[in-house]
């Protein structure tokens, strides 16, 4: 197998958090909180643009600059988190890091045209699900200029650059169910334990599985899109998605020019779990917001896999009947899309890693990542060894905050929120070192 010259690509992160007061109740003071973050960032020499508002006032987003390694990304991620925690303490506020607030909430949406357009198009009640769950987005850089804001892929770029984009896009797609299963965070949604990955079902939704979410009836815009067998297919899928959004807006009486005037565009009409981003990245959006230990592990996993694909020049292609990742020479074969977005997605969102098909699929992905070596490998190896007894944060919560009914009382819900605010701060304190992945490797 031919070893390709080292390709240096960057990776970046965005994570959304709920803002709560010292009792654990949601707080709408995001704007004040972000002002304090930006003052502290300026004082400490950080870019103030990495602390940004979300579309509801009780949620904030903490971002990182693009970094050349998972170790570098982990370091800056934890530094930014530490700053945000400090800002919160100055105001008597805290960051709750998990994927859904466990009790009933009514988010207050910001009064901006782009949000109202989205809400009118999908329905206001449905759109509010996006304000009740939080996600983590990872950005994998692709060759400069290969993503076109006009048609998705720039044909004037080299065939090698376009091939890299295709492989990274297909790789990210193939990881979807693994990232859902490994990263499941809060089992409670609106006070109920629903036995499903709540962020996944309430955000992307599914007509096939009767999951009521934001994009249940608009899967081209918010669901997982199929693999692309060539660049032309990838471009066609981008246009298909774009026209689906324009048609949905027109159905509710919104003129497309209103969308463009509000900052919308060809690429910004996508809210899929995997999408092309105008920043020049393939954006992975299917991860729950979670504790830093889980986020660091996911960073390491994704970075190692994508690094191997680039370094070894692997073509990522689906194979009918295959349920795992399987390397064969210059090919990395992955599960077919029908299986990935069907039975495997359902198993990942219901039983998670406990399901035997999910377990063997995740195991093959971990095996492929671990072979890349480097910091974080020990942690991923231990995770793989314990896969039979894998404890997601969701499973941990169900054991700790179990109830005789599926309903969560306010007292228990607030206790859960504060416990994970504390855990977030403890983990940031422990992991915020010059080499966070080495520190992660030491965790038993």
The closest alpha carbon to 427, from 59, 138, 135, 77, belongs to 77
In this predicted structure, which of 82-91, 273-282, 397-406 has the lowest mean pLDDT?
397-406
Say what the pLDDT of residue 274 is. 98
Task: Report residue 195's pLDDT band, with 50, 70 and 90 as the boundaries.
Answer: confident
Q: Is the pLDDT of residue 185 over 80?
A: yes
Q: Is the pLDDT of residue 119 over 80?
A: yes
Say what the pLDDT of residue 443 is. 85
Q: Where are the domains of the chain?
A: 11-425
The closest alpha carbon to 167, from 274, 288, 321, belongs to 274
Residue 75 CA, chain-centre distance (Å), reads: 19
Say what the pLDDT of residue 373 is. 95
Task: Report residue 3's pLDDT band, with 50, 70 and 90 as the boundaries.
Answer: low
**Model-level pTM?**
0.96
Task: Report residue 391's pLDDT band, with 50, 70 and 90 as the boundaries.
Answer: confident
Task: Report residue 5's pLDDT band, with 50, 70 and 90 as the boundaries.
Answer: low
R_g over Cα of the chain = 21
Instruction: Name the helix (H) or strand (E) containing 210.
Output: none
Task: Give the pair of three-digit tokens for residue 271.
Answer: 């809210």
Task: Report residue 401's pLDDT band, with 50, 70 and 90 as the boundaries.
Answer: confident
Q: Mean pLDDT throughout 58-63?
A: 97
Say what the pLDDT of residue 4 is. 58
The correct answer on CATH 3.30.360.10 for the domain covering 11-425 is no
* Rama region for 352: left / alpha / beta (φ>0; ψ in -120 to 50; rest): left
Q: Is the pLDDT of residue 39 over 60?
A: yes
In tens, the pLDDT along 202-251 reads 999 999 999 999 999 999 999 999 999 999 999 999 999 999 999 999 99
* Mean pLDDT across the chain: 95
């Amino acid at each position: 197998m031919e070893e390709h010259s080292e390709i240096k690509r960057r990776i970046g992160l965005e994570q959304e958090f709920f803002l709560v007061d010292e009792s654990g109740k949601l707080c709408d003071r995001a704007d004040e909180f972000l002002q304090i973050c930006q003052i502290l960032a300026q004082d400490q020499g950080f870019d103030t643009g990495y602390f940004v508002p979300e579309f509801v006032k009780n949620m904030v987003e903490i971002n990182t600059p693009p970094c050349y390694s998972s170790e570098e990304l982990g370091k800056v991620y934890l530094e930014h988190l530490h700053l945000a925690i400090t800002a919160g303490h100055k105001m008597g506020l805290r960051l709750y890091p998990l994927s859904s607030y466990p009790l009933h909430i009514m988010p207050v949406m910001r009064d901006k045209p782009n949000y109202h357009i989205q809400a009118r198009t999908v329905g206001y009640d449905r759109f509010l699900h996006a304000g009740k769950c939080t996600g983590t987005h990872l950005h994998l850089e692709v060759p400069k200029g290969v993503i076109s804001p006009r048609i998705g892929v720039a044909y004037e770029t080299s065939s090698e650059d376009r091939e890299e984009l295709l492989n990274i896009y297909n790789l990210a797609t193939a990881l979807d169910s693994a990232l859902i299963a490994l990263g499941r965070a809060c089992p409670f949604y609106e006070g109920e334990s629903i036995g499903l990955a709540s962020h996944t079902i309430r955000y992307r939704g599914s007509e096939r599985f009767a999951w009521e979410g934001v994009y249940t009836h608009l899967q081209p815009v918010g669901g997982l899109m199929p693999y692309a067998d060539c660049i032309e297919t990838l471009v066609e899928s981008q246009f298909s998605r774009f026209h689906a959004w324009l048609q949905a807006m027109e159905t509710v009486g919104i003129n497309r020019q209103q969308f463009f005037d509000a900052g919308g565009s060809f690429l910004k009409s996508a809210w899929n779990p995997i999408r092309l981003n105008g920043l020049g990245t393939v954006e992975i959006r299917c991860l729950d917001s979670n504790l830093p230990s889980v986020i660091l592990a996911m960073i390491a996993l994704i970075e190692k896999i994508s690094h191997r694909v680039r370094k070894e020049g692997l073509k990522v292609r689906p194979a009918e009947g295959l349920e795992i990742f399987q390397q064969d020479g210059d090919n990395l074969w992955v599960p077919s899309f029908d299986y990935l977005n069907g039975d495997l997605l359902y198993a990942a969102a219901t039983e998670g890693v406990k399901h035997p098909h999910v377990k063997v699929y995740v195991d093959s992905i971990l095996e492929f990542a671990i072979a890349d070596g480097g910091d974080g490998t020990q942690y991923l190896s231990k995770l793989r060894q314990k896969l039979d007894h894998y404890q997601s944060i969701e499973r941990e919560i169900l054991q700790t905050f179990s109830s005789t009914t599926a309903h969560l009382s306010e007292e228990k819900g607030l206790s859960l929120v504060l416990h994970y605010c504390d855990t977030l701060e403890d983990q940031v304190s422990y992991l915020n070192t010059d080499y966070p992945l080495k520190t992660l490797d030491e965790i038993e």
